[in-house]
Chains A and B, each alone.
Chain A
């Protein structure tokens, strides 16, 4: 058995795969020592085989195991050596991929749609190239009405088939008219979209975005308007301390009319909505003028409701803190990446409408 111990020692000490293979051949190969022992079993007597057989087989097994163990150890060592040479600088930077963005105006429009959907309002649209009847006359702004001049309207030289002058809508209110003309009440809609006025300075752009709200139903009054605006603004700004102040005002298409101020507090020199340290004008609203309802072919004694209009760009600025309206329309990638939203920032009621 001294032979065996020596053999096992040699296997265990084999320096590499080749040396180990040589030992395997020497022990288990055709001419190998262990093979020779196995072969000798054939020439033994039955008794001798009975006693020698298991011993020799066990011997072969131990040698085989020792070889396998050594091979695994050699291979593991070899892999380790290889891996040791395969290092990479894991601090090398990787690209972030192309990061796209959603424009704040679109994001806010989605937020509005989400909030108002919960209140039962659908989103309506209308053309931006309007006729002066829907933009003004039907809204109780007859020609030469001072309010018409105050709108700084962009006009086209064109007239429609009925001889109405074509213009760029100055507000989203003509969508009220279109909705009342084509759908049967009760009506609960918001109408976001582009609007235009011939006005350009640091706080005005000739194109801007507005959202119109319209409710026509039975028994709707000013209190419903107040609740709706409060509910909307609390949801939009995600603050419970939003305070509104309704002020009597004048819009030709509403009666009574109310300008709506929202309270703010000063935080580090900035106006933050909520509280009532001061007031800022946020939107115009009122009960739809009976004459407007009649213009659209509805009976103002049966149907009444409210309308409001608000600047979307301004809502975005107040919520997300941009301070330059002109940048909204410049397409500056740096601005878009900074103030824009990720594709996955989809406003939801459960996840919140703010991102």
Chain B
């Protein structure tokens, strides 16, 4: 909402300067977004008279002027304007003045050998318009030496305030003036709507068929108007706030709307046929609006129509057909009340924003229809002549006497601000509320404050006018002692995983929660697909973290990265809910070529496994109990991937090499491996207090024994390791696989696995017999797993 200071002063009697007005506006909740003060940039320019004009000795197109700028001396100026001549008055800028239209600061200069001490300016140079064919010519009575901006009436700063959606009353200058008056900036001037004589009965019938959408429709005809351009003061005012002057009658409606927040519409009576009706649109009905666009309507929308067609998308935008033109002689002024909810829905549906909509959807003052119509009629006649009919009124605006019970102590207990009761009463009354003090107070809410309906609203009114800066910071109550930990077990696991992953050399990314449907498809498809996505690539809620990470990996490779290790902790969006997940991708080189190691090494599935196992360990999972069951889901290589499970049902993670088809879809050339850890699948760690199990390092040294086993190539190593580990739970402290071999010496279809078993003696050392017995147990256990000792 934009307005000028002079406009404001028509509604507010005030001595306040611009800075004070701006400061108060923001302080009471009308945030100033910008101030456009043309006087500021025009400040150095004064009215001057050209005393003499001579041809420049060195240049045909230049003249040497002497100028009287009221300084008492004749100033020499070199000027190229063809219209410069002795005796004319214009606008002068002295050295030091900044010329906004040319973006330069004037200085004393010699132009073709003749000194020039300033400049006579054109319209464009002062950013007052586009003309540049000569310097500004002022009338003869312009006072020499006067500040040009003041003299020309260009010293009216425009203030742009952002009006929050609850404050329809401040969508007009009058409402803003009321707020400022309440905030102590002056006196609100009453609205003076002169009664316009009713010269004849209204010749148009006005009807309401849609009482819900348009509960009230008032109208009045003005006969015999001449609709030319509006006067200069009105055009200037509209331009200053960014409105385009159109014609006297249209400008009138805009002026009333901006002054009072009251939208109106003016029809050319000659274009209307029969009764004018507020009704629902018929399905498929169309109207070409004043913006030149044609809209297709439906029966949820309220329109104003005559016997023939729709003339107005009620409360949003008028129709082109019945709009007023220069040829218009008779008009119908519409002043209606439209239902805010319906206006909002219609506006959203049509994607049509307008000044009228922004007011009606906030809810205009339902008690202002008669006054608004009277102001409009008077102004129409003042600008365009003619005589007015009687007012016709269909329906009744939704006027309700609203009262709120209020205890003035609430200003303290909710608003945190002490305001004396008489002061509170004064604030409320200045804002237009009525106050009946008592126990509690009964506050009458003015018709223009649709937003106020409870005591908390009253607290806000008091607090904002009194000033939020008076609210004193008050410490929250604080529990005794050191602050307690607040993180939940899930939050602690997530933090631990994040920092473990980062410590292991992975970089955390945050990727979009949405992906393309095609990207989601290999992951089982997306359960949640947006109705109004921003693009096809951001349409489906990701069923996995991998698509986003793979896309990020591809971008990194394209930028020249050799190895990419990315992880993300976020949610997968599934039918059964949002699942916290850690996803990681390892793409490209695991190790770069290096003078110590020689060639580089690409990532393989075991790199992904190493991360998955380490992260699960960090999450508190007993990784010794994990089983790797092949294969993982279909996005992985079927032979080079597995699920990490606790029992066959609880899948904690998946890892492996990604399926070549998936890599192709993501435009990645391998190797690329990945893992996903399903954070919600991990069993919660048992709370066991801080105390650890009792432990003393064993006194005797452990011994190791190596075994090489042969077993079928398809048998998982885990089966053998598990068997060996279980052969003597007391003595065997560790089993490490140190060699996997197939080839010479190993029968076809078999593999050799060599393990080092660590045996930990207890109270006394193992005897040879005991060691032998344990070895035999190990071999026997391995045999059960299908392995035999290699000779």
Contact B460 A200 (CB under 8 A): no
- Interface membership of A230, Cβ < 8 A: yes
Q: Which residues of A contact B561 (CB under 8 A)?
A: 333
CB proximity of B312 to chain A, nearest CB, Å:
20
Q: In the complex, which residues of chain B have a beta carbon less than 8 angstroms from the beta carbon of A106?
A: 498, 508, 510, 569
Q: How far is the CA of A245 from the CA of B28 in the complex (A)?
A: 12
Q: Is B381 an interface residue (CB 8 A)?
A: no
Known A123-B487, A328-B510: A215·B476 in contact at CB below 8 Å: yes
Q: Which residue of B lies closest to A122 (CB)?
A: B486
- What per-residue 1/0 map shows which CB atoms of A98-136 lie under 8 Å from chain B? 111111011000100100111111110001110000000
B29 touches A291 (CB 8 A): no
Q: Is B341 an interface residue (CB 8 A)?
A: yes
| B interface residues, how many (CB within 8 angstroms) | 99
- Contact of A194 with B by CB under 8 A: yes
A146 touches B476 (CB 8 A): no
* Chain B 496-533 near chain A by CB (<8 Å), digits 1 or 0: 00111111111111111110000000000000111111
Question: Which of B361, B457, B502, B506 gathers most chain A CB within 10 Å?
Answer: B502
Q: Which positions 253-282 of chain A face chain B at CB distance < 8 Å?
A: 255-259
Contacts of B341 in A (CB 8 A): 142-144
Contacts A146-B165, A149-B348, A246-B468; is A120 near B479 (CB within 8 Å)? yes
State in angstroms the CA–CA spacing of A166 and B575 once bound together: 13
Q: Complex formed: what's the CA distance from A95 to B591 in Å?
A: 10
Report yes or no: B460 in contact with A156, Cβ–Cβ below 8 A.
no
A236 at the interface (CB under 8 A from B): no
Q: Are B487 and A247 in contact (CB under 8 A)?
A: no
CB distance from A145 to the nearest CB of B (A): 7
A250 at the interface (CB under 8 A from B): yes
Known: A113-B486, A256-B463. A156 touches B531 (CB 8 A): yes
Chain A binder among B146-154, B277-285, B413-421? B413-421
- Chain B min CB distance to A234 (Å): 11
> Separation in Å of the B162 CB from the closest CB of chain A?
9
Digitize A21-58: 1 where CB-to-B-CB distance is under 8 Å, 0 elsewhere. Answer: 00000000000000000000000000000000000000
- A155-B532, A157-B531 are known contacts. Are A248 and B509 too (CB-CB below 8 A)? no
Chain A 204-247: CB-based contact to B (< 8 A → 1; otherwise 0): 00110000000101011111111110110000000000000111
Contact status A156-B529, CB under 8 Å? yes
| Cβ–Cβ contact A98 & B565, under 8 A | yes
Q: Within 8 Å of chain B (Cβ to Cβ): is A304?
A: yes
Q: Is the CB of A120 within 8 A of B478?
A: yes
CB of A247 within 8 A of CB of B559, answer: no
Q: Is A343 an interface residue (CB 8 A)?
A: yes
Closest B residue by C-beta to A118: B483
Of all chain B residues, which has the CB nearest A109? B495
Contact between chains at B508 and A149 (CB < 8 Å): no
- Assuming A146-B344, A336-B507, is B486 touching A123 (CB within 8 A)? yes
Of B456, B485, B512, B569, which is within 8 A of A255 by CB?
A: B456
Contact: B532 with A198, CB < 8 Å? yes
CA distance A110 to B552 in the complex (A): 24
Which residue of chain B has the shortest Cβ distance to A127 in the bound complex?
Answer: B578
Query: Which residues of B have CB within 8 Å of A220?
Result: 476
A155 touches B505 (CB 8 A): no
Closest chain-A Cβ to B467's Cβ sits at a distance in Å of 9
Within the complex, the shortest CB–CB distance from B527 to chain A, in Å, comes to: 9
Q: Which residues of B contact A340 (CB under 8 A)?
A: 502, 507-508
Given contacts A221-B414, A331-B510, A331-B549, 13 further A-B contacts (CB under 8 A): A100-B502, A120-B478, A129-B573, A154-B530, A207-B514, A227-B476, A247-B27, A248-B468, A290-B456, A291-B454, A331-B511, A342-B502, A346-B499
Residues of A at under 8 Å CB distance from B? 92, 95, 97-103, 105-106, 110, 113, 116-123, 127-129, 142-147, 149-150, 154-158, 166, 168, 188, 194, 196, 198, 200, 206-207, 215, 217, 219-228, 230-231, 245-250, 252, 255-259, 287, 289-291, 304, 328-334, 336-337, 340-344, 346
- 13 residue pairs of the A-B complex, CB under 8 angstroms, read A100-B505, A103-B510, A127-B578, A168-B513, A207-B514, A217-B477, A220-B476, A222-B415, A247-B26, A248-B27, A258-B468, A331-B510, A336-B508
